[in-house]
Chain A
Protein backbone atom coordinates (compact mmCIF):
# COMPACT_ATOMS: atom_id res chain seq x y z
CA UNK A 1 0.00 0.00 0.00
CA UNK A 2 1.56 3.29 -1.02
CA UNK A 3 0.52 6.90 -0.94
CA UNK A 4 -2.76 8.47 -0.05
CA UNK A 5 -5.06 6.21 -2.04
CA UNK A 6 -4.05 3.30 0.12
CA UNK A 7 -4.90 4.92 3.40
CA UNK A 8 -8.61 4.17 3.46
CA UNK A 9 -8.16 0.55 2.50
CA UNK A 10 -5.40 0.16 5.01
CA UNK A 11 -7.64 1.67 7.64
CA UNK A 12 -9.84 -1.39 7.58
CA UNK A 13 -7.19 -4.01 7.23
CA UNK A 14 -4.90 -2.20 9.58
CA UNK A 15 -4.81 -4.73 12.36
CA UNK A 16 -5.12 -8.32 11.44
CA UNK A 17 -7.27 -10.41 13.67
CA UNK A 18 -6.71 -14.01 14.44
CA UNK A 19 -9.56 -16.44 14.12
CA UNK A 20 -9.16 -17.37 17.76
CA UNK A 21 -10.47 -13.92 18.73
CA UNK A 22 -13.77 -14.60 17.04
CA UNK A 23 -13.87 -18.02 18.59
CA UNK A 24 -13.42 -16.45 22.01
CA UNK A 25 -16.16 -13.91 21.38
CA UNK A 26 -18.59 -16.56 20.25
CA UNK A 27 -17.81 -18.96 23.03
CA UNK A 28 -16.58 -16.79 25.88
CA UNK A 29 -16.93 -19.45 28.52
CA UNK A 30 -15.00 -22.20 26.85
CA UNK A 31 -11.66 -21.67 28.49
CA UNK A 32 -10.29 -25.10 27.70
CA UNK A 33 -8.82 -23.89 24.44
CA UNK A 34 -7.36 -20.91 26.32
CA UNK A 35 -7.70 -18.86 23.20
CA UNK A 36 -6.72 -15.24 23.54
CA UNK A 37 -6.50 -12.51 20.91
CA UNK A 38 -3.19 -12.50 19.11
CA UNK A 39 -2.26 -9.09 17.80
CA UNK A 40 0.00 -8.76 14.80
CA UNK A 41 2.08 -5.89 13.48
CA UNK A 42 0.02 -3.68 11.19
CA UNK A 43 1.73 -2.93 7.87
CA UNK A 44 2.89 0.64 7.35
CA UNK A 45 0.68 2.54 4.89
CA UNK A 46 3.87 3.70 3.10
CA UNK A 47 7.41 2.50 2.51
CA UNK A 48 10.07 2.79 5.21
CA UNK A 49 11.87 5.52 3.27
CA UNK A 50 8.70 7.44 2.38
CA UNK A 51 9.10 9.96 5.19
CA UNK A 52 12.65 10.94 4.26
CA UNK A 53 14.37 13.27 4.72
CA UNK A 54 12.32 14.13 7.81
CA UNK A 55 12.39 10.65 9.31
CA UNK A 56 15.05 8.30 7.99
CA UNK A 57 14.26 4.85 6.61
CA UNK A 58 16.56 3.30 9.22
CA UNK A 59 14.54 4.87 12.05
CA UNK A 60 11.25 3.81 10.49
CA UNK A 61 12.38 0.25 9.97
CA UNK A 62 13.64 -0.20 13.52
CA UNK A 63 10.72 1.70 14.98
CA UNK A 64 8.07 -0.30 13.17
CA UNK A 65 9.76 -3.66 12.71
CA UNK A 66 11.44 -3.89 16.11
CA UNK A 67 10.01 -1.46 18.67
CA UNK A 68 6.35 -1.73 17.70
CA UNK A 69 6.73 -5.49 17.22
CA UNK A 70 8.17 -5.84 20.73
CA UNK A 71 5.14 -4.10 22.27
CA UNK A 72 2.89 -6.52 20.40
CA UNK A 73 4.91 -9.59 21.38
CA UNK A 74 4.92 -8.56 25.04
CA UNK A 75 1.23 -7.66 24.91
CA UNK A 76 0.30 -11.05 23.51
CA UNK A 77 2.34 -12.79 26.20
CA UNK A 78 0.75 -10.69 28.95
CA UNK A 79 -2.76 -11.31 27.63
CA UNK A 80 -2.11 -15.02 27.53
CA UNK A 81 -0.91 -14.95 31.14
CA UNK A 82 -3.95 -12.90 32.05
CA UNK A 83 -6.32 -15.40 30.43
CA UNK A 84 -4.65 -18.17 32.40
CA UNK A 85 -4.91 -16.17 35.60
CA UNK A 86 -8.60 -15.50 34.93
CA UNK A 87 -9.15 -19.17 34.28
CA UNK A 88 -7.35 -20.07 37.50
CA UNK A 89 -9.26 -17.36 39.43
CA UNK A 90 -5.85 -15.98 40.38
CA UNK A 91 -6.72 -12.38 41.16
CA UNK A 92 -3.31 -11.33 42.45
CA UNK A 93 -1.61 -12.38 39.24
CA UNK A 94 -4.27 -10.54 37.26
CA UNK A 95 -3.55 -7.35 39.17
CA UNK A 96 0.20 -7.84 38.82
CA UNK A 97 -0.20 -8.13 35.04
CA UNK A 98 -2.12 -4.90 34.65
CA UNK A 99 0.77 -2.45 34.40
CA UNK A 100 2.50 -4.58 31.77
CA UNK A 101 -0.70 -4.81 29.77
CA UNK A 102 -1.24 -1.07 29.99
CA UNK A 103 2.32 -0.35 28.89
CA UNK A 104 2.47 -2.80 26.00
CA UNK A 105 -1.11 -2.28 24.84
CA UNK A 106 -0.43 1.46 25.03
CA UNK A 107 2.67 0.99 22.90
CA UNK A 108 0.64 -0.94 20.35
CA UNK A 109 -2.23 1.58 20.31
CA UNK A 110 0.02 4.63 20.14
CA UNK A 111 2.24 3.36 17.35
CA UNK A 112 -0.75 2.09 15.34
CA UNK A 113 -2.30 5.55 15.48
CA UNK A 114 1.07 7.23 14.85
CA UNK A 115 1.87 5.40 11.58
CA UNK A 116 -1.56 6.36 10.28
CA UNK A 117 -1.20 10.00 11.20
CA UNK A 118 2.03 10.36 9.22
CA UNK A 119 2.28 10.73 5.43
CA UNK A 120 5.02 11.39 2.87
CA UNK A 121 5.78 15.10 2.72
CA UNK A 122 5.06 15.23 -1.01
CA UNK A 123 1.51 13.86 -0.63
CA UNK A 124 -1.56 16.10 -0.50
CA UNK A 125 -2.44 14.47 2.83
CA UNK A 126 0.60 16.13 4.40
CA UNK A 127 -0.81 19.62 3.76
CA UNK A 128 -2.97 21.16 6.45
CA UNK A 129 -5.44 22.10 3.69
CA UNK A 130 -6.46 18.43 3.79
CA UNK A 131 -8.12 19.19 7.13
CA UNK A 132 -10.33 22.26 6.52
CA UNK A 133 -12.78 21.72 9.40
CA UNK A 134 -10.10 20.78 11.89
CA UNK A 135 -8.05 23.79 10.86
CA UNK A 136 -11.02 26.06 11.50
CA UNK A 137 -11.33 24.84 15.06
CA UNK A 138 -7.56 25.04 15.53
CA UNK A 139 -7.72 28.70 14.49
CA UNK A 140 -10.66 29.31 16.79
CA UNK A 141 -8.75 27.71 19.67
CA UNK A 142 -5.18 28.95 19.21
CA UNK A 143 -5.59 31.97 16.94
CA UNK A 144 -3.78 30.52 13.94
CA UNK A 145 -1.97 27.43 12.75
CA UNK A 146 1.45 28.83 13.59
CA UNK A 147 0.47 29.56 17.19
CA UNK A 148 -1.00 26.09 17.51
CA UNK A 149 2.22 24.49 16.25
CA UNK A 150 4.23 26.64 18.62
CA UNK A 151 2.10 25.46 21.55
CA UNK A 152 2.30 21.84 20.40
CA UNK A 153 6.08 22.02 20.01
CA UNK A 154 6.48 23.55 23.46
CA UNK A 155 4.43 20.69 24.91
CA UNK A 156 6.56 18.11 23.07
CA UNK A 157 9.82 19.66 24.22
CA UNK A 158 8.54 19.91 27.80
CA UNK A 159 8.18 16.14 28.15
CA UNK A 160 10.58 14.89 30.81
CA UNK A 161 11.63 11.42 29.74
CA UNK A 162 9.76 9.23 27.30
CA UNK A 163 6.27 10.05 26.15
CA UNK A 164 3.95 11.36 23.49
CA UNK A 165 2.27 14.61 22.53
CA UNK A 166 -1.27 14.48 21.15
CA UNK A 167 -3.81 16.79 19.65
CA UNK A 168 -7.09 15.47 20.99
CA UNK A 169 -10.75 16.26 20.71
CA UNK A 170 -12.62 16.16 23.99
CA UNK A 171 -16.34 15.48 23.77
CA UNK A 172 -18.39 16.58 26.75
CA UNK A 173 -22.06 16.07 25.99
CA UNK A 174 -22.83 18.17 22.93
CA UNK A 175 -19.76 20.33 23.41
CA UNK A 176 -16.40 19.52 21.96
CA UNK A 177 -13.05 21.18 22.30
CA UNK A 178 -9.50 20.66 21.13
CA UNK A 179 -6.59 20.20 23.49
CA UNK A 180 -2.88 19.46 23.41
CA UNK A 181 -1.93 16.79 25.89
CA UNK A 182 1.23 14.89 26.70
CA UNK A 183 1.31 11.36 28.03
CA UNK A 184 4.19 9.61 29.73
CA UNK A 185 5.90 6.47 28.46
CA UNK A 186 3.22 4.51 26.57
CA UNK A 187 0.12 5.76 28.35
CA UNK A 188 -2.55 5.87 25.64
CA UNK A 189 -5.20 8.55 25.19
CA UNK A 190 -8.23 6.66 26.43
CA UNK A 191 -9.88 9.14 28.83
CA UNK A 192 -13.63 9.69 28.81
CA UNK A 193 -14.72 11.50 25.66
CA UNK A 194 -11.16 11.85 24.36
CA UNK A 195 -10.50 11.27 20.67
CA UNK A 196 -6.86 11.22 19.53
CA UNK A 197 -6.41 13.28 16.35
CA UNK A 198 -2.68 12.96 15.88
CA UNK A 199 0.24 12.01 18.02
CA UNK A 200 4.00 12.55 17.98
CA UNK A 201 6.30 9.98 19.50
CA UNK A 202 8.86 11.68 21.75
CA UNK A 203 10.75 8.58 22.82
CA UNK A 204 14.40 8.97 21.88
CA UNK A 205 14.16 5.92 19.59
CA UNK A 206 11.81 7.97 17.38
CA UNK A 207 14.55 10.39 16.32
CA UNK A 208 17.93 9.62 17.86
CA UNK A 209 19.70 7.90 14.94
CA UNK A 210 19.04 10.96 12.80
CA UNK A 211 18.72 13.92 15.15
CA UNK A 212 20.82 12.75 18.14
CA UNK A 213 20.16 15.12 21.03
CA UNK A 214 18.66 17.72 18.66
CA UNK A 215 15.06 16.91 19.40
CA UNK A 216 13.92 20.46 18.62
CA UNK A 217 14.82 19.83 14.96
CA UNK A 218 12.82 16.58 14.95
CA UNK A 219 9.86 18.43 16.42
CA UNK A 220 10.17 21.10 13.70
CA UNK A 221 10.47 18.58 10.88
CA UNK A 222 7.67 16.25 11.94
CA UNK A 223 5.17 18.86 10.72
CA UNK A 224 6.24 18.08 7.16
CA UNK A 225 4.90 14.56 7.48
CA UNK A 226 1.74 14.94 9.55
CA UNK A 227 -1.20 13.29 7.81
CA UNK A 228 -3.87 15.98 7.96
CA UNK A 229 -6.33 13.85 6.03
CA UNK A 230 -6.27 11.23 8.79
CA UNK A 231 -6.46 14.05 11.34
CA UNK A 232 -9.59 15.46 9.68
CA UNK A 233 -11.21 12.00 9.64
CA UNK A 234 -10.53 11.48 13.32
CA UNK A 235 -11.72 15.00 14.11
CA UNK A 236 -15.00 14.53 12.28
CA UNK A 237 -15.52 10.99 13.49
CA UNK A 238 -16.56 9.72 16.85
CA UNK A 239 -14.35 8.28 19.51
CA UNK A 240 -15.46 4.83 18.36
CA UNK A 241 -14.42 5.68 14.78
CA UNK A 242 -10.92 6.69 15.84
CA UNK A 243 -10.43 3.42 17.65
CA UNK A 244 -12.30 1.27 15.13
CA UNK A 245 -9.02 0.14 13.71
CA UNK A 246 -8.09 -1.27 17.11
CA UNK A 247 -11.53 -2.39 18.19
CA UNK A 248 -11.71 -4.70 15.21
CA UNK A 249 -9.02 -6.84 16.75
CA UNK A 250 -10.36 -7.03 20.29
Chain B
Protein backbone atom coordinates (compact mmCIF):
# COMPACT_ATOMS: atom_id res chain seq x y z
CA UNK B 1 0.00 0.00 0.00
CA UNK B 2 1.24 3.43 -0.89
CA UNK B 3 2.71 5.21 2.07
CA UNK B 4 1.16 8.52 1.07
CA UNK B 5 -2.20 6.99 1.85
CA UNK B 6 -1.24 6.30 5.40
CA UNK B 7 -1.19 9.74 6.88
CA UNK B 8 -3.67 9.01 9.60
CA UNK B 9 -4.65 5.88 11.40
CA UNK B 10 -8.29 6.58 10.55
CA UNK B 11 -7.53 6.50 6.87
CA UNK B 12 -5.34 3.45 7.30
CA UNK B 13 -8.12 1.55 8.97
CA UNK B 14 -10.67 2.62 6.35
CA UNK B 15 -8.42 1.39 3.60
CA UNK B 16 -7.13 -1.73 5.30
CA UNK B 17 -9.92 -3.94 4.05
CA UNK B 18 -9.02 -3.10 0.48
CA UNK B 19 -5.38 -4.05 0.66
CA UNK B 20 -5.49 -7.83 0.32
CA UNK B 21 -7.85 -7.57 -2.62
CA UNK B 22 -5.29 -5.84 -4.77
CA UNK B 23 -3.63 -8.96 -6.10
CA UNK B 24 -6.87 -10.90 -6.48
CA UNK B 25 -8.63 -8.23 -8.45
CA UNK B 26 -5.65 -7.38 -10.57
CA UNK B 27 -5.14 -11.09 -11.22
CA UNK B 28 -8.74 -11.58 -12.23
CA UNK B 29 -8.57 -8.64 -14.55
CA UNK B 30 -5.53 -10.18 -16.17
CA UNK B 31 -3.33 -7.19 -15.43
CA UNK B 32 0.01 -7.11 -13.75
CA UNK B 33 -0.16 -6.62 -10.04
CA UNK B 34 1.55 -3.41 -9.11
CA UNK B 35 2.53 -3.03 -5.50
CA UNK B 36 0.99 -0.03 -3.77
CA UNK B 37 -2.00 0.39 -6.04
CA UNK B 38 -5.14 1.75 -4.45
CA UNK B 39 -8.17 -0.50 -4.73
CA UNK B 40 -11.87 0.01 -4.20
CA UNK B 41 -12.73 -1.15 -0.68
CA UNK B 42 -15.76 -3.37 -0.21
CA UNK B 43 -18.75 -1.77 1.48
CA UNK B 44 -19.25 -3.16 5.00
CA UNK B 45 -23.00 -3.53 4.21
CA UNK B 46 -25.29 -4.13 1.22
CA UNK B 47 -26.10 -1.36 -1.25
CA UNK B 48 -29.71 -1.31 -0.10
CA UNK B 49 -28.88 -1.46 3.61
CA UNK B 50 -29.03 2.29 4.19
CA UNK B 51 -32.57 2.68 2.85
CA UNK B 52 -34.68 4.68 3.28
CA UNK B 53 -32.05 7.31 4.16
CA UNK B 54 -29.96 6.56 1.06
CA UNK B 55 -31.34 4.47 -1.79
CA UNK B 56 -29.64 1.31 -3.01
CA UNK B 57 -29.29 2.80 -6.49
CA UNK B 58 -27.40 5.80 -5.15
CA UNK B 59 -25.14 3.61 -3.06
CA UNK B 60 -24.34 1.32 -5.95
CA UNK B 61 -23.50 4.11 -8.40
CA UNK B 62 -21.67 6.07 -5.75
CA UNK B 63 -19.47 3.16 -4.69
CA UNK B 64 -19.04 1.17 -7.92
CA UNK B 65 -18.80 4.08 -10.33
CA UNK B 66 -17.88 7.34 -8.62
CA UNK B 67 -15.52 5.96 -5.99
CA UNK B 68 -14.00 3.52 -8.43
CA UNK B 69 -13.25 6.34 -10.88
CA UNK B 70 -11.32 8.15 -8.16
CA UNK B 71 -9.38 4.95 -7.48
CA UNK B 72 -8.43 4.28 -11.10
CA UNK B 73 -7.63 7.94 -11.80
CA UNK B 74 -5.54 8.16 -8.66
CA UNK B 75 -3.57 5.09 -9.70
CA UNK B 76 -3.12 6.48 -13.18
CA UNK B 77 -1.82 9.84 -11.99
CA UNK B 78 0.35 8.26 -9.32
CA UNK B 79 1.98 6.18 -12.03
CA UNK B 80 2.59 9.32 -14.07
CA UNK B 81 4.01 10.96 -10.97
CA UNK B 82 6.46 8.09 -10.50
CA UNK B 83 7.53 8.49 -14.10
CA UNK B 84 7.97 12.25 -13.70
CA UNK B 85 9.93 11.56 -10.53
CA UNK B 86 12.14 9.13 -12.40
CA UNK B 87 12.81 11.74 -15.07
CA UNK B 88 13.24 14.52 -12.50
CA UNK B 89 10.57 16.42 -14.46
CA UNK B 90 9.61 19.10 -11.94
CA UNK B 91 7.06 20.80 -14.17
CA UNK B 92 5.21 17.53 -14.77
CA UNK B 93 5.28 16.75 -11.07
CA UNK B 94 3.74 20.09 -10.17
CA UNK B 95 1.11 19.72 -12.90
CA UNK B 96 0.11 16.33 -11.46
CA UNK B 97 -0.29 17.54 -7.88
CA UNK B 98 -3.84 18.94 -8.15
CA UNK B 99 -4.93 15.75 -9.93
CA UNK B 100 -3.50 13.57 -7.20
CA UNK B 101 -5.08 15.82 -4.56
CA UNK B 102 -8.46 15.54 -6.28
CA UNK B 103 -8.54 11.83 -7.10
CA UNK B 104 -6.57 10.72 -4.05
CA UNK B 105 -8.82 12.93 -1.95
CA UNK B 106 -11.87 11.36 -3.57
CA UNK B 107 -10.56 7.92 -2.67
CA UNK B 108 -9.76 8.85 0.94
CA UNK B 109 -13.01 10.73 1.52
CA UNK B 110 -15.26 8.00 0.18
CA UNK B 111 -13.34 5.25 2.02
CA UNK B 112 -13.91 7.09 5.29
CA UNK B 113 -17.51 7.91 4.37
CA UNK B 114 -18.60 4.29 3.76
CA UNK B 115 -17.07 3.34 7.08
CA UNK B 116 -18.79 6.11 9.02
CA UNK B 117 -22.21 4.98 7.76
CA UNK B 118 -24.09 1.91 8.97
CA UNK B 119 -27.55 0.40 8.60
CA UNK B 120 -29.77 0.97 11.64
CA UNK B 121 -29.66 -2.81 12.21
CA UNK B 122 -25.90 -2.48 12.67
CA UNK B 123 -26.00 0.49 15.01
CA UNK B 124 -26.55 3.27 12.47
CA UNK B 125 -27.92 6.37 14.15
CA UNK B 126 -27.06 5.24 17.66
CA UNK B 127 -25.58 8.25 19.46
CA UNK B 128 -21.87 8.36 20.27
CA UNK B 129 -20.56 7.37 23.67
CA UNK B 130 -17.31 7.77 25.55
CA UNK B 131 -14.69 10.46 24.87
CA UNK B 132 -16.17 11.54 21.50
CA UNK B 133 -19.61 12.10 23.05
CA UNK B 134 -17.90 14.11 25.77
CA UNK B 135 -15.97 16.22 23.26
CA UNK B 136 -19.16 16.94 21.28
CA UNK B 137 -20.99 17.97 24.44
CA UNK B 138 -18.06 20.15 25.52
CA UNK B 139 -17.93 21.87 22.14
CA UNK B 140 -21.59 22.14 21.21
CA UNK B 141 -23.65 21.55 24.33
CA UNK B 142 -25.41 18.52 22.90
CA UNK B 143 -25.39 16.11 19.98
CA UNK B 144 -28.52 17.74 18.55
CA UNK B 145 -26.93 21.18 18.68
CA UNK B 146 -23.88 19.82 16.85
CA UNK B 147 -26.06 18.17 14.18
CA UNK B 148 -27.89 21.42 13.61
CA UNK B 149 -24.64 23.31 13.08
CA UNK B 150 -23.35 20.49 10.89
CA UNK B 151 -26.44 20.67 8.69
CA UNK B 152 -26.06 24.45 8.41
CA UNK B 153 -22.47 23.90 7.28
CA UNK B 154 -23.58 21.30 4.73
CA UNK B 155 -26.28 23.59 3.37
CA UNK B 156 -23.78 26.42 3.07
CA UNK B 157 -21.40 24.58 0.75
CA UNK B 158 -21.32 26.48 -2.54
CA UNK B 159 -20.72 23.81 -5.13
CA UNK B 160 -19.37 20.32 -4.51
CA UNK B 161 -17.74 19.39 -1.25
CA UNK B 162 -17.83 17.71 2.12
CA UNK B 163 -18.55 18.64 5.70
CA UNK B 164 -16.50 16.95 8.39
CA UNK B 165 -16.44 16.72 12.10
CA UNK B 166 -12.70 16.94 12.66
CA UNK B 167 -10.42 16.82 15.65
CA UNK B 168 -7.88 19.58 15.99
CA UNK B 169 -4.65 17.71 16.71
CA UNK B 170 -3.27 20.79 18.51
CA UNK B 171 -6.08 21.25 21.02
CA UNK B 172 -7.89 17.91 20.88
CA UNK B 173 -11.21 19.70 20.35
CA UNK B 174 -13.73 18.64 17.75
CA UNK B 175 -15.03 21.13 15.21
CA UNK B 176 -17.07 21.26 12.00
CA UNK B 177 -15.24 22.12 8.79
CA UNK B 178 -16.24 22.13 5.14
CA UNK B 179 -13.91 21.16 2.32
CA UNK B 180 -14.30 22.01 -1.37
CA UNK B 181 -14.59 19.28 -4.01
CA UNK B 182 -12.44 16.34 -2.89
CA UNK B 183 -9.99 18.21 -0.68
CA UNK B 184 -9.11 15.65 1.98
CA UNK B 185 -8.86 16.19 5.71
CA UNK B 186 -5.11 16.07 6.24
CA UNK B 187 -2.51 17.94 8.24
CA UNK B 188 -3.58 19.59 11.46
CA UNK B 189 -7.07 18.09 11.48
CA UNK B 190 -8.06 14.48 11.96
CA UNK B 191 -11.21 13.25 10.18
CA UNK B 192 -13.85 11.94 12.60
CA UNK B 193 -17.06 11.95 10.55
CA UNK B 194 -17.67 13.02 6.97
CA UNK B 195 -20.80 13.65 4.91
CA UNK B 196 -20.64 13.86 1.14
CA UNK B 197 -22.46 16.97 -0.13
CA UNK B 198 -21.82 16.38 -3.83
CA UNK B 199 -25.06 16.24 -5.77
CA UNK B 200 -24.30 12.64 -6.86
CA UNK B 201 -24.61 11.64 -3.18
CA UNK B 202 -28.34 12.39 -3.06
CA UNK B 203 -29.72 13.63 -6.36
CA UNK B 204 -31.48 10.47 -7.61
CA UNK B 205 -33.50 10.33 -4.42
CA UNK B 206 -33.76 13.90 -3.17
CA UNK B 207 -33.15 16.02 -6.31
CA UNK B 208 -32.87 19.67 -5.25
CA UNK B 209 -34.22 18.95 -1.75
CA UNK B 210 -30.80 18.48 -0.24
CA UNK B 211 -31.90 19.57 3.24
CA UNK B 212 -33.97 16.37 3.40
CA UNK B 213 -30.88 14.28 2.64
CA UNK B 214 -28.87 16.11 5.30
CA UNK B 215 -31.62 15.38 7.81
CA UNK B 216 -32.08 11.72 6.86
CA UNK B 217 -28.43 10.75 6.85
CA UNK B 218 -28.12 11.06 10.64
CA UNK B 219 -30.24 7.90 10.92
CA UNK B 220 -27.39 5.90 9.35
CA UNK B 221 -24.35 7.54 10.92
CA UNK B 222 -21.96 5.02 12.43
CA UNK B 223 -20.87 6.83 15.59
CA UNK B 224 -18.95 3.79 16.75
CA UNK B 225 -16.64 4.10 13.72
CA UNK B 226 -16.37 7.85 14.30
CA UNK B 227 -15.52 7.26 17.96
CA UNK B 228 -12.62 4.98 17.01
CA UNK B 229 -11.08 7.78 14.98
CA UNK B 230 -11.19 10.18 17.91
CA UNK B 231 -7.97 10.25 19.94
Contact = CB atoms under 8 A, between A and B. Distances in A.
Interface of A: 62, 66-67, 70, 99, 103, 160-163, 184-186, 203-205, 208-209, 212-213
B203 A208 contact: yes
A213 B203 contact: no
Interface string B177-195: 0001110000000000000
Q: Residue among A162, A184, A205 with the most chain B CB within 10 A?
A: A162
Interface string B187-223: 0000000000011100110011000000000000000
Interface residues of B, number: 20
Interface of B: 61, 65-66, 69, 98, 102, 158-161, 180-182, 198-200, 203-204, 207-208
B200 A208 contact: yes
A70 B158 CA distance: 13
Given A204-B198, A209-B203, A213-B61, A163 B159 contact: yes
10 contacts: A160-B98, A160-B181, A161-B159, A161-B180, A161-B181, A162-B199, A185-B158, A209-B204, A212-B65, A213-B200
Contacts of B160: 161-162, 204
Given A160-B98, A160-B182, A204-B160, 20 more contacts: A62-B207, A62-B208, A67-B208, A160-B102, A160-B181, A161-B181, A162-B159, A162-B160, A162-B199, A184-B159, A186-B158, A203-B199, A204-B203, A205-B203, A205-B207, A212-B65, A213-B65, A213-B66, A213-B69, A213-B200
A67 B208 CA distance: 7
B199 A204 contact: yes
Contacts of B69: 213
A67 B203 CA distance: 12
